[in-house]
Chains A and B, each alone.
Chain A
Amino acid sequence: MKITQNKRLEPIDRVAITFIIFLGLVTCLLVWGNQVCATTEQCFLQVGPRVKNFSWSGKQIGAKDTAFILTFDRPMDEASVAQNLIINPPLPGKISWAGRRLAYTLAAPAPYGENYELRLRGAREKIRGKKELGKEIQPFSSKFSTRDRAFVYIGSQGEEEGRLVLYNLTEQRQKILTPDNLTVIDFNIYPQGDLILFSAVQSNKVNEGFANNQLYTVTTTDKGSKTGEIKLILDNKNYQNLKFALSPDGQTIILRRTNKKNPGKFGLWKLSENGKQEPLNNQSGGDFTIAPDSKTLALALGEGIAILSLEPNAEPIAFLPQYGRLVTFSQNGSLAAMVNYNRDNPELLYTQSLFLVRAGGGEEKLFSTNGSILDCKFNPTATILYCWLTQLVEETEEYREQPYFAAIDLQTKEILPLLVLPEYQDIKMSMARDGLGLLFEQVIADSATEDTSPERRIWLLIPPSTLSESDQPQLEQLPLVGFHPQWLP
């Protein structure tokens, strides 16, 4: 009797055994599907390896995007992937692996205004512990694009006068970003290119001077007819804002301010992303530039350059007494171009020397000139330094400085003059983040009409692809009247 009771099936036994049999059948079906689909090209089951994720799929990328990630659903044979990965048009770069993830780091920023296609077919699965390769990957294809080439300048004619103008070079379209009641003095672009920080005064108070400016941001969309969205960042109630700089990461603004009630109280202030304002409480100094690391500041101090922390009350990190001016940093911050005015060397007095200073220590003299070093910019890979320089022309009765554009090969230190300009005034350049070209303004003062303000023209200079005397740069005057052109990142 007891044995019969034990052998009697409970409801759970009946249901569980039935369900286990049913699941067994489903399992067999799936396993059979795996066998069948392994030999069939078109199959409803995805048996072979495949790309699970492509980080740039369908995206519009900018200069900040230096690498993409391809994630596979299983370990892949690295050589077959490297051999079959095609980007069209080609974007040279390096492949590195971390398990099932492939990282492709671009050798140089992708040229703007292009559509790209990434294709992968023919790569094979890696089988653990075996030399022979596994199944072939399911063909993968995806598209991405780079943002349009665009830059911003301050207009100086007609309805554009004193206003920020966005010019889309790819589509040859321009749009005024700021309202007509604000006259823009200076601006910096946020790293994503979606916002611009600018200083401006009310247009009806321009006569009161530019020191009463306030800081605003404006959005940069070039679609639609409306101006960008304006937001006041810093007013001028208690302080005059003399100069500002936006850190390359867009999180900090450094300002030189003076107290309106006590003009003797002036210095550098830090304005954080959360709106917190703090005085840096260090020596005031002259011109300043925030380094690409967004943590340090190069400040002209006396006859040298001080490297300061962006944290208030911090001790100076370094002082470089031999340099009188910081010209530019490379994009990754590993190099800086600095000018030595040679005041301590009687033989080189009245000459300027350009030095290449490495962040990790060490410096190299590139050249000395009896003219001037106006402005320099590194190319994105920091292999070439482009400079506007002047050459002293000694004519019969007067000295004249002849401006010219030169490329300096940082490997060989060879200087190649590429272009000569007849007229100039204080040339400032902006290098495109993809390295396409340099924007600069040319001020043409008409001596016959001294009362009128000088005409400001914007030029695009595309350096030659190779540094040789036979390869000449392309110089194009853009149909725009304005100044301070800056490429969107």
Chain B
Amino acid sequence: MSFFTLFFSLLVEAMPFLLLGVFLSSVLLLLIDEGKLIAKLPRNPILGAIIGSCFGFLFPVCECGNVPVARRLLLQGVPTSSAVGFLLAAPTINPIVIWSTWVAFPNQKEIVLLRILFSMAIAIIIGCVFSVQQNPQPLLQKMLSKRLRVPQQLEQKGIPTLLRGGTFILSGEGSPVAMTEIIPPTPRSKGMSLGGQFVSNIAQELRELGGMLVIGSAVAAFIQVFVPREIILSVAQGTIGSILAMMLLAALVSICSTVDSFFALSFASTFTTGSLLAFLVFGPIIDIKAIGLMLSIFRPRVILYLFALAAQLTFIFALGYSYFG
């Protein structure tokens, strides 16, 4: 009984945000010219990560809605640092979440400020780490990497053609030309109206991501039934224990970032500010339910890197705040 209650509550809570994310992703697909978007994004990994982290203000989605949007950004050829920056920061760095945190902690403004600051810092650092990977294909699931429309010429300008990968045609002048440079961009599906394409994309993404959300919610509900919260909270002894417990709780309860501050508020009287921050920063980045969705984009080892880096950075920031804040 409690499994189904938890499962459906997670699903009902997340589905509107997934729909919003899929909707925004479809808008991006149809209305944004990827060539112009990519040309406008900075190539510098730090700047790219910062800008990606701030995309959340344009697409106010929680950790379920950010996955389709991040996936679309990657498919459109947005640099990995920006897409990862968006994926990690958007669930926190957006007006709805900032407002709800402000409302939940009216007397502890430092929680609002530090939540933004720590989330931004973690997204930027991990975004920078991922910027070393120029070619995003090895990061992505095979099916997705085939659909990648990265205009590689942007990346490879200035590199001798002999050192580039891909298919080349020997021109009349004897110099090889990349296929991607002479083949005109794929026109948007003919015979289907803009609205039709929009609906078709929504249906496709919902099919792919909706299934992952159902599986993720089921796993999260299953763990919560068999590992009750009391067991997690019982390890919360001292500064370190309480931070670890709240991070674990954040990952397991899989609550949306738009409402997680109110959940954290119920622990405000018994937990340290550092551990509350750990909950509020780590939860939107990684949770069981969102891991399912992330598996639709990234290969498992990439998710492991994301998880490990986010967990370590959250722990260090939260503990650092407890020591020096």
Contact B312 A20 (CB under 8 A): yes
In chain A, positions 30-77 with a C-beta closer than 8 Å to chain B are 30-31, 33-34, 45-47, 52, 73-75
Interface status of B224 (Cβ within 8 A of chain A): no
A10-31 CB mask vs B (1 if < 8 Å, else 0) is 1111111101100110110011
Interface status of B268 (Cβ within 8 A of chain A): yes
Contact A12 B305 (CB under 8 A): yes
Given known pairs A11-B133, A23-B316, A100-B269, the reply for A16 and B309 (CB within 8 Å) is: yes
Contact B302 A12 (CB under 8 A): yes
In whole angstroms, what is the CA distance A113 to B119 when docked? Answer: 47
In chain A, positions 126-167 with a C-beta closer than 8 Å to chain B are 127-130, 134-135
Contact B139 A12 (CB under 8 A): yes
Task: For B320, list chain A residues within 8 Å (CB).
Answer: 30
Chain B: CB-nearest residue to A46: B323
Contact A16 B305 (CB under 8 A): yes
Task: For B271, list chain A residues within 8 Å (CB).
Answer: 74-75
Contact A46 B139 (CB under 8 A): no
In whole angstroms, what is the CA distance A135 to B242 when docked? Answer: 15
In chain B, positions 31-81 with a C-beta closer than 8 Å to chain A are none
Interface status of A448 (Cβ within 8 A of chain B): no
Contact B272 A73 (CB under 8 A): yes
Interface status of B104 (Cβ within 8 A of chain A): no
Task: For B319, list chain A residues within 8 Å (CB).
Answer: 30-31, 34
A196 to chain B minimum Cβ distance, whole angstroms, is: 32
Contact A23 B132 (CB under 8 A): no
Task: For B313, list chain A residues within 8 Å (CB).
Answer: 23
Chain A: CB-nearest residue to B125: A19
Interface status of B240 (Cβ within 8 A of chain A): yes
Q: Chain A: how many interface residues by the 8 Å CB criterion? A: 35
Given known pairs A19-B309, A23-B312, A30-B323, the reply for A11 and B269 (CB within 8 Å) is: no
Task: For A20, list chain B residues within 8 Å (CB).
Answer: 305, 308-309, 312
Contact A34 B129 (CB under 8 A): no
Task: For B312, list chain A residues within 8 Å (CB).
Answer: 20, 23-24, 26-27
Interface status of B219 (Cβ within 8 A of chain A): no
B293-325 CB mask vs A (1 if < 8 Å, else 0) is 000000001100100110011011001101110
In whole angstroms, what is the CA distance A12 to B130 when docked? Answer: 6
Q: Which of B129, B268, B323 contacts A19 (CB 8 A)?
A: B129
A45 to chain B minimum Cβ distance, whole angstroms, is: 5
Task: For B242, list chain A residues within 8 Å (CB).
Answer: 74
In whole angstroms, what is the CA distance A75 to B239 when docked? Answer: 11
Interface status of B211 (Cβ within 8 A of chain A): no
In whole angstroms, what is the CA distance A26 to B314 when docked? Answer: 12
In whole angstroms, what is the CA distance A74 to B269 when docked? Answer: 8
B91 to chain A minimum Cβ distance, whole angstroms, is: 21
Interface status of B273 (Cβ within 8 A of chain A): yes
A123 to chain B minimum Cβ distance, whole angstroms, is: 16
Interface status of A346 (Cβ within 8 A of chain B): no
Chain B: CB-nearest residue to A6: B138
Contact B322 A73 (CB under 8 A): yes
Contact B269 A15 (CB under 8 A): no
Interface status of B29 (Cβ within 8 A of chain A): no
Interface status of B233 (Cβ within 8 A of chain A): yes
Task: For A13, list chain B residues within 8 Å (CB).
Answer: 301
Interface status of B238 (Cβ within 8 A of chain A): yes
Contact A100 B240 (CB under 8 A): no
Interface status of B237 (Cβ within 8 A of chain A): yes
Contact A74 B272 (CB under 8 A): yes
In whole angstroms, what is the CA distance A12 to B80 when docked? Answer: 11
Task: For A45, list chain B residues within 8 Å (CB).
Answer: 323-324
Task: For B270, list chain A residues within 8 Å (CB).
Answer: 75, 99-100, 128
Q: Chain B: how many interface residues by the 8 Å CB criterion? A: 36
Task: For A23, list chain B residues within 8 Å (CB).
Answer: 309, 312-313, 316
Contact A129 B234 (CB under 8 A): yes
Interface status of A98 (Cβ within 8 A of chain B): yes
Contact A47 B234 (CB under 8 A): no
A425 to chain B minimum Cβ distance, whole angstroms, is: 52
Chain B: CB-nearest residue to A125: B238
- Secondary structure of the B contact surface, majority rule: helix
Task: For B148, list chain A residues within 8 Å (CB).
Answer: none
Task: For A100, list chain B residues within 8 Å (CB).
Answer: 268-270
Chain A: CB-nearest residue to B133: A12
Task: For B302, list chain A residues within 8 Å (CB).
Answer: 12
Chain A: CB-nearest residue to B80: A12
Given known pairs A15-B132, A23-B313, the reply for A46 and B324 (CB within 8 Å) is: yes
B218 to chain A minimum Cβ distance, whole angstroms, is: 29
A183-197 CB mask vs B (1 if < 8 Å, else 0) is 000000000000000
B184 to chain A minimum Cβ distance, whole angstroms, is: 31
Q: Which of B138, B237, B323 contacts A12 (CB 8 A)?
A: B138
Task: For B315, list chain A residues within 8 Å (CB).
Answer: 27
Interface status of B236 (Cβ within 8 A of chain A): yes
In whole angstroms, what is the CA distance A46 to B320 when docked? Answer: 10
Chain B: CB-nearest residue to A129: B234
In whole angstroms, what is the CA distance A74 to B242 when docked? Answer: 10
B124-145 CB mask vs A (1 if < 8 Å, else 0) is 0000011011100011000000
Contact B132 A11 (CB under 8 A): yes
A100 to chain B minimum Cβ distance, whole angstroms, is: 6
Task: For A134, list chain B residues within 8 Å (CB).
Answer: 238
Task: For A14, list chain B residues within 8 Å (CB).
Answer: 132
In whole angstroms, what is the CA distance A74 to B138 when docked? Answer: 45
Contact A47 B132 (CB under 8 A): no
Task: For B138, list chain A residues within 8 Å (CB).
Answer: 10, 12
In chain B, positions 119-172 with a C-beta closer than 8 Å to chain A are 129-130, 132-134, 138-139
In whole angstroms, what is the CA distance A46 to B309 when docked? Answer: 25
Contact B268 A47 (CB under 8 A): no
Task: For B134, list chain A residues within 8 Å (CB).
Answer: 11
Chain B: CB-nearest residue to A126: B270
Chain B: CB-nearest residue to A98: B269
B102 to chain A minimum Cβ distance, whole angstroms, is: 18
Task: For B240, list chain A residues within 8 Å (CB).
Answer: 31, 34
In whole angstroms, what is the CA distance A73 to B323 when docked? Answer: 11
Contact A99 B269 (CB under 8 A): yes
In whole angstroms, what is the CA distance A74 to B243 when docked? Answer: 12
Chain A: CB-nearest residue to B305: A16
Q: Which of B133, B239, B316 contacts A34 (CB 8 A)?
A: B239
Chain B: CB-nearest residue to A37: B323
Q: Which of A11, A15, A52 contacts B273 (CB 8 A)?
A: A52
A39 to chain B minimum Cβ distance, whole angstroms, is: 13
A61-104 CB mask vs B (1 if < 8 Å, else 0) is 00000000000011100000000000000000000001111000
What would be 26 A-B contacts, judged by CB atoms less than 8 Å apart? A10-B133, A11-B132, A11-B133, A11-B134, A12-B129, A12-B130, A12-B133, A12-B138, A16-B129, A19-B309, A20-B305, A20-B308, A20-B309, A23-B316, A26-B316, A30-B323, A31-B240, A34-B319, A73-B274, A75-B269, A100-B270, A101-B269, A127-B237, A127-B238, A128-B234, A128-B237
User: What 4 new A-B contacts, CB under 8 Å, besides A73-B272, A127-B237?
Assistant: A11-B133, A12-B129, A27-B316, A128-B270
Binding site for B on A (CB under 8 A): 10-17, 19-20, 23-24, 26-27, 30-31, 33-34, 45-47, 52, 73-75, 98-101, 127-130, 134-135
Q: Which 10 A-B pairs have the closest CB atoms?
A: A99-B269, A23-B312, A12-B133, A16-B305, A11-B132, A74-B272, A45-B323, A15-B132, A10-B138, A20-B308
